[in-house]
Structure 1
Amino acid sequence: MKKKLIVSVAAAALTLAALTGCGSAKDDSTITVAASATPHAEILEQVKPILEEQGYTLEVTVFSDYVQPNQVVESGEYDANYFQHIPYLESFNEEHGTHLVNAGGIHYEPFGIYPGTKSDLSTLTEGDVISVPNDTTNEARALLLLQDNGILKLKDGVGLEATVRDIVENPYNVEIQELEAAQVPRVKDESAFVVLNGNYAMEAGFSVSKDAVAFEQSDSEAAKTYVNVIAVKEGNESKEGIKALVDALKSDAVKEYINNTYDGGVIPFD
């Protein structure tokens, strides 16, 4: 009798384990994404009906930090995240030993050249001041944008590590004024032009689409580097659900939403 009871309990345990295993298997038709609130989660909301037509359910969870979204993808709790650019992704992998990869670039948030005392780059004259952020990444982006618009030339190969010391040609002999990023918009009345990243431009009341004299294009080095991506754990980038998600985010409907909603502060990445 005791032996029979033990066998029965063991059989029940095996049945429960089997049922539990079945219940924990992830449904391939559900795609779970960890995202920042703006603009990432907002953009993902536009994707839900597109994916529904293909038989997928998109579940989006908003995170307020930049650590947990990567941790939950690494652990397999979530399929993907959408909040970061490639340099941050690579740095996170190196620092935390994670194995996250870029599954597709979706948008970038451009640097722009904005009017100060002048509103047309062709009116630059010797000694004009152009104010730029002084931190390494943002200064390099600002200098590259000025180079793209013919205002100066940088040493070959410096790329996104460029500083004012790397300027090799300055045909207008402009003065590059380096300031803490938050201070740059405050000197627009004392500078011919100011070069700003998106959030400081918006805080200063500038619109990328309406006010920027020039801004980073999708084929620029900075845009390609700082494009915001869908990140997944290595090996999952070819899964059908992930490919469907990326394709939906790059669809004409989503591009139209981005262009109509963010006034040039967010630009689809081709």
Structure 2
Amino acid sequence: MKKGLLTAIVFLAVALLAACGSEESSGASEGLYDDEKLVIGVTAGPHEEILEKVTELAEEEGINIETEVFTDYVMPNVALDEGELDLNIFQTEPYFNAIREDRNLDLVKSFDTVTFPMGIYSLDVGDVSELPEGATIGLPSDPTNSGRALLLFEQAGLIELDPETGINSTVRDIEKNNGNYEFVELDSAQIARQLEELDAAAINTNFAIEAGFTPTEDAIFIEPKDSPYINHAAVRAENEDDEIIQKLADIYRSEEVKTFIEEEFGGSLVPSW
């Protein structure tokens, strides 16, 4: 009798432990969606507006999104790495790779989103050929966008770069400065606001739109539509394969969102799908 009772108690204890383990496993499998919402970081401007549309469509699928808006390129990755965000959507792969390595961030690329062609803007001239000798030209100070801007200046015929430096070009790699231009490196988010103090500047499209420019109309030179600088979403490595990420990717890359981008931004942004 006692032996039977002891066996029953042991069996019950094992069953309870197994049940607890099952519940824990079930919770872990939910990944990012344990708290019933996704916190997504974006930069102010077009990324924010596109995510608003995505949020509307996601709600129809039972997915709740909370948006955090940033005005710089560094903090969205830091916040994601530290767990304050579940996902961010704002950056190109070259920039992502550079900051991930520089800050040792455990993040991975998720899905492609849109391309923002970088443009050259000026309040004084209507074409790059009109820039005066010795003009002061602004460009982003972060390495990835700086190299991108220099390649844009080369495409515009302003300079010639060391052909071996490519995307990693710096102002030191300018081999020929056709107009004896002075290049000034500035924070990406501030360049549009400082354009009055410059003859021209390379400005990322999201900041140009935020400043009231229409890239396809106001830029005096703009990247071609086959630009390799596609933006993408990023997540922590541990969440790379979470089911909710694929669901979000499908919503973001839907025909509804594509139509919204084309109608809202008139070619200034290019869907990557």
> Do the two structures share a fold, i.e. TM-score over 0.5?
yes
- Structure 1 residue 92 and structure 2 residue 96: aligned? no
2:233 match? 229
Does the Cα contact within 8 Å between 2:40 and 2:66 map onto a contact in 1? yes
1:176 match? 182
1:69 match? 80
- Structure 1 residue 158 and structure 2 residue 169: aligned? no
Which amino acid letter does the alignment assign opposite residue 82 of structure 1?
I
Structure 1 residues 18-60: Cα deviation after superposition (integer angstroms, max 9, x where no partner): 56246525459x796441154546534534676788xx64332
Compute the displacement of 1:194 (Å): 2.7
TM-score between the two structures when normalised by the length of structure 1: 0.69
Which amino acid letter does the alignment assign opposite residue 118 of structure 1?
V
Which amino acid letter does the alignment assign opposite residue 60 of structure 1?
I
Compute the displacement of 1:265 (Å): 6.4
Distance 1:169 1:256, change over 3 A: farther
How far apart in 1 are the matches of 2:49 and 2:127?
35
Compute the displacement of 1:4 (Å): 7.4
Matches for 1:43-82 after TM superposition, within 5 Å? 43-47=50-54, 57-63=62-68, 65-66=75-76, 67-72=78-83, 81-82=88-89
Matches for 1:1-270 after TM superposition, within 5 Å? 3=6, 6-7=9-10, 10=13, 13-14=16-17, 16-17=19-20, 20-21=23-24, 23-24=26-27, 26=29, 33-37=38-42, 38=44, 39-40=46-47, 42-47=49-54, 57-63=62-68, 65-66=75-76, 67-72=78-83, 81-86=88-93, 87-88=95-96, 91-92=99-100, 95-96=103-104, 98=106, 100-124=107-131, 127=133, 129-133=135-139, 135-137=141-143, 138-171=145-178, 173-181=179-187, 182=190, 185-186=193-194, 188=196, 191=199, 193-198=200-205, 200-202=207-209, 204-221=211-228, 223-224=229-230, 227-231=231-235, 233=237, 236=240, 242-261=245-264, 266-270=269-273
Distance 1:177 1:229, change over 3 A: same
How far apart in 2 are the matches of 1:262 and 1:196?
17
Q: Give the 3-state SS of the residue equivalent to 1:61 in structure 2.
A: strand
- Please report the RMSD computed on the Cα atoms of aligned residues, expressed in angstroms: 4.2
Q: Which runs of 5+ in 2 are unaligned?
A: 70-74
How far apart in 2 are the matches of 1:141 and 1:96?
23
TM-score between the two structures when normalised by the length of structure 2: 0.68
Q: Which runs of 5+ in 1 are unaligned?
A: none
How far apart in 2 are the matches of 1:24 and 1:141?
43
Compute the displacement of 1:189 (Å): 6.7
Which amino acid letter does the alignment assign opposite residue 115 of structure 1?
S
Which amino acid letter does the alignment assign opposite residue 100 of structure 2?
F
Which amino acid letter does the alignment assign opposite residue 80 of structure 2?
P
Which amino acid letter does the alignment assign opposite residue 88 of structure 1?
F
Q: Give the 3-state SS of the residue equivalent to 1:36 in structure 2.
A: strand
Compute the displacement of 1:119 (Å): 0.3
Which amino acid letter does the alignment assign opposite residue 91 of structure 1?
I
Does the Cα contact within 8 Å between 1:105 and 1:230 map onto a contact in 2? no
